[in-house]
Amino acid sequence: MQYPEWIWHNGEIKRWADATAHVMSHALHYGSSVFEGIRCYETPSGPAIFRLNDHNKRLFASAKIYEMQIPYTLEQINAACHEVIKRNGLTKAYLRPFAYRGLGGFGLSAETPIDVSVATWFMGPYLGDGVLEAGIDACVSSWQRFAPNTIPAGAKAGGNYLSGQLVAREARRLGFGEGIALASTGLLSEGAGENLFLVFDGALHTTPVSAALLNGITRNTIITLARDAGLTVVERDLPREYLYLCDELFMCGTAAEITPIRSVDGRQVGAGKPGPVTRQIQDLFFGLFDGRTRDTYGWLDPL
C-alpha cells in the first residue's frame, strides 16, 4: 500500500505520519472503534464519492450502538471525506472514516475521548486483479459468525473484524480467494467482508439481516438496481448446500464491488464462470460510474 501524504485527524488535515494514537488507547485493547469503507470513482463528469451520506449515516449508527458520541456532525464528516481526497490529489480512491475510543481512563465502560480520522488511498480490486472478470473460488469457513445476542453484526465495529480475520485468513491459507461464514443457526450468513447473492432461475436471493450480517450498502444498491431493472429479489434464509446448487453466485461490498464466485468448497457453481445475471448486475453497478446507468437515486456525490 502506497501511503498518501495527508490524513484528516480530529478536525485537521495532518501529514500521514503525524496522525498517531497512544498505545494505551481503549480501541487497541478492546476493539472499540467504528468505521466505514467508501469508494470514490472517476465518472465522465469528474470524480464522485459513492453513497457518501449513507455510509457516514451508518458510521453514526454503529457509534450509537456502542454509546460513542462522535464529536462532529454528519455534515462535517462528509466534508472531511471530500477534503482529504482533494488534498491528496486522488480521483479513484477508497475512504476510511473511523471513530475510536482513545486515551483516557481504564476499563471497559470508561468514558474516553472519541477520536476521529478519515484516511484515503488508491485501491484497486480488493480480492485481487482480474477477479471481477474471472471470479474467485470460495470456501465455507470452519468459523461461524457471532450469534445475534452476542455482538451486533449490524454495527461496523473494529471488534467484529476478529471474526472476519479468522474467516479470511483460513480461506487464504487453504488456497481460496475468500471465505463464507454460516450464522450460529447453521444457515448462510455472508463473506468475511462481503454480502452474498445467489441466483436461481434468473431471480436474486440474498441472506437477510437476521443472518448475522452487515446490512451492506452495495447489497442495498444491487437490490434497488435489480428491482428497477425488473428482476426479482428475495431476502431469505438459505442453507449451505444452496451455494452449490444455485445457477450463479457473487459477493458484494464496497471493497469487493461485485465479485463472481465460480466454485464453493471445490464444487463448481453453475457454468463455473460469471453468469448472465451476475454480468447484468455488474453492468448496472459499474454503469453508474461510466455513465451507462443513470443515477436517478442521487448516489453520486461529485468531489
Residues that bind ligand PMP (CB under 6 A): 37, 164, 190, 193-195, 213-214, 216-219, 253-254
Which CB sits closer to ligand PMP, 32 or 163? 163
Grid cell at residue 134: 474471472
By beta-carbon proximity to ligand PMP, the closer residue of 8 and 146 is 146
Least distance in Å: CB of 113 to ligand PMP? 25
Question: What is the nearest approach in angstroms of ligand PMP to the Cβ of residue 17?
Answer: 27
Residues β-bridged to residue 199: 204, 248
We find the least distance from the C-beta atom of residue 236 to ligand PMP, in angstroms, to be 17
DSSP assignment of the chain equals: ----SEEEETTEEEEGGG----TT-HHHHH--EEE--EEEEEETTEEEEETHHHHHHHHHHHHHHTT---SS-HHHHHHHHHHHHHHTT-SSEEEEEEEEE-SS--STT----EEEEEEEE----TT-TTHHHH-EEEEE-SSPPPPTTTS-TTS-BGGGHHHHHHHHHHHHHTT-SEEEEE-TTSBEEEESS-EEEEEETTEEEE--TTTT----HHHHHHHHHHHHTT--EEE---BTTHHHHSSEEEEEETTTEEEEEEEETTEEPTTSS--HHHHHHHHHHHHHHHSSS--TT--EEE-
The question of whether 273 is a catalytic residue gets the answer no
Q: How far apart are CA 30 and CA 44, in angstroms?
A: 44
Nearest residue (CB) to ligand PMP, 137 versus 194: 194
Closest alpha carbon to 253 in 209, 212, 194, 165: 194
Beta carbons of 204 and 222 less than 8 angstroms apart = yes
Answer yes or no: are the C-beta atoms of 297 and 273 closer than 8 Å.
Answer: no
Q: Which of 14, 57, 64, 156 is catalytic?
A: 156
Of the pair 112, 196, the CB lying nearest ligand PMP is at: 196
Cβ at position 105, least distance to ligand PMP in Å: 29
CB of 195 to ligand PMP, least distance (A): 5
Cα 250 to chain center, whole Å? 14
Q: Based on CB atoms, which residue is closest to ligand PMP, 80 or 167? A: 167
CB of 153 to ligand PMP, least distance (A): 8
Taking the complex as a whole, the smallest distance from the CB of residue 249 to ligand PMP amounts, in Å, to 15
| CB of 211 or CB of 213, closer to ligand PMP | 213
Question: Residue 48 or 213: which CB sits closer to ligand PMP?
Answer: 213
Measured from each CB, the residue nearest to ligand PMP is: 216
Active site residues: 156
